[in-house]
């Protein structure tokens, strides 16, 4: 497996995290002070760092055949994210997601609920195009998974719409198909973030099948109602676990918590990179 290092994006490397998990059972944990909450501009800068890392990624064989890494595009502080399958030929050439016919349909449906691409973030399960648009392979999905988790952790969406089977199965960690799940929202944890997961038919599947388009449209029109619910309760975040040879501070030695910082959404800050 590829040795992915994340220190540039403000997270520990995979091997460090594994070591932390091993030591968790016998170490003291406490909630992080709210000062650890990152502003939208900090999260945006960290997202750019993840993009720069992904641009050079060689974690799976798809790097040999790609023209561009298609990291994702849109608002780095979006309340709504879409996750498709993988870039196709046009996306690979342009380095942007959903630029073909399926993307045009996505734009149209967004317009119908009063949104456009500058207000949402669109990404894919795979960041590189599988040759001849074949289905993603499990090793490719696994190699790319961490980028998706970090995108979600940094963007902090309220609602994630998975488009089609691949992203739905991945984020639900379950093989149930999209025809049973579409239009049924549920709270799921993605990376370290609880989100309202909302599976939808893939727009490409709706292009030539009117009944699928009508179902996609009626599911899509419920998105504003889900956004209005606000973010679900978040899992408790724990302080990074110290190494075995580091002394663990007693609770009464820990500094007092600063007052809570309310999270404010920045006005649509389009990621100029993409
Ligand atoms: N289909 C996808 O799933 N993603 C794209 O970016 C384009 C088409």
**What is the percent of the chain with per-residue pLDDT over 70, rounded to a whole number?**
74
Bigger pLDDT: 256 vs 70: 70
Among 62, 68, 86, which is best to mutate for testing ligand 1, by the most ligand atoms less than 8 A from CB?
86
The ligand 1 atom at the shortest distance from the C-alpha of residue 90 is: 7
pLDDT-based confidence at residue 247 (cuts at 50, 70, 90): low
Is the pLDDT score of 7 beyond 80?
no
Is the pLDDT score of 117 beyond 50?
yes
pLDDT value of residue 253 = 44
Rg value, the chain, Cα = 19
83-111 confidence digits (pLDDT tens): 999 999 999 999 999 999 999 999 999 99
And the tokens for 24?
A: 């968790």
165-177 confidence digits (pLDDT tens): 999 999 999 999 9
Q: What residue spans define the domains of the chain? A: 39-230
Note the pTM of the prediction, 2 decimals: 0.80
Residue 93: enclosing H or E segment and its boundaries? helix 89-94
Is the pLDDT score of 250 beyond 70?
no
d(CA 206, ligand 1 centre) in Å: 13
Longest dimension (CA), the chain: 65
32-83 confidence digits (pLDDT tens): 555 578 999 999 999 999 999 999 999 999 999 999 999 999 999 999 999 9
d(CA 135, ligand 1 centre) in Å: 12
Is the pLDDT score of 158 beyond 80?
yes
Is the pLDDT score of 199 beyond 50?
yes
Is CATH 3.40.470.10 correct for 39-230?
Answer: yes
Ligand 1 contacts (CB < 6 A) are: 84-88, 91, 97-98, 102, 124, 204
pLDDT value of residue 23 = 33
Lowest mean pLDDT among 50-59, 148-157, 229-238, 258-267: 258-267
pLDDT value of residue 31 = 45
Q: Beta strands 80-84 and 121-124: pairing type? A: parallel
How high does pLDDT run on average in the chain?
83
Work out the number of other CB atoms within 10 angstroms of the CB of residue 161: 25
d(CA 214, ligand 1 centre) in Å: 20
Among 100, 120, 121, 125, which is best to mutate for testing ligand 1, by the most ligand atoms less than 8 A from CB?
100
d(CA 163, CA 178): 9
Overall average pLDDT of the 217-237 stretch:
96
pLDDT value of residue 168 = 98
Work out the number of other CB atoms within 10 angstroms of the CB of residue 222: 15
């Amino acid at each position: 497996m590829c040795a992915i290092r994340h220190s540039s994006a403000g997270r520990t490397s995979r091997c460090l995290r594994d070591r932390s998990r091993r030591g968790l059972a016998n170490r003291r944990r406490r909630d992080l002070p709210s000062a650890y909450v990152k502003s939208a501009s900090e999260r945006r800068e960290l997202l750019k760092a993840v993009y720069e890392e992904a641009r050079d990624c060689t974690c799976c064989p798809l790097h040999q055949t790609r023209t561009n890494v298609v990291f994702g595009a849109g608002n780095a502080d979006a309340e709504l994210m879409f996750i498709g399958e993988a870039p196709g030929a046009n996306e690979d050439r342009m380095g942007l997601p959903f630029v073909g016919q399926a993307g045009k349909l996505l734009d149209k449906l967004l317009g119908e609920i009063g949104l456009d691409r500058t207000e949402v973030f669109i990404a894919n399960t795979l960041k590189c195009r599988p040759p001849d648009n074949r289905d993603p392979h499990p090793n490719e999905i696994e190699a790319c998974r961490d980028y998706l988790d970090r995108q979600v952790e940094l963007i902090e969406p309220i609602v994630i719409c998975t488009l089609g089977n691949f992203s739905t199965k991945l984020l639900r960690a379950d093989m149930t198909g999209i025809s049973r799940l579409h239009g049924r929202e549920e709270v799921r944890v993605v990376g370290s973030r609880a989100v309202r997961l909302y599976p939808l038919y893939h727009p490409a599947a709706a292009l030539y099948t009117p009944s699928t388009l009508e179902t996609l449209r009626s599911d899509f029109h419920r998105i504003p109602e889900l956004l209005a619910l606000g973010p679900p309760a978040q899992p408790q975040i724990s302080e990074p676990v110290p190494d075995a040879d580091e002394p663990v501070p007693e609770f009464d030695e820990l500094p007092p918590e600063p007052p809570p910082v309310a999270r404010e959404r920045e006005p649509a800050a389009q990621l100029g990179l993409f």
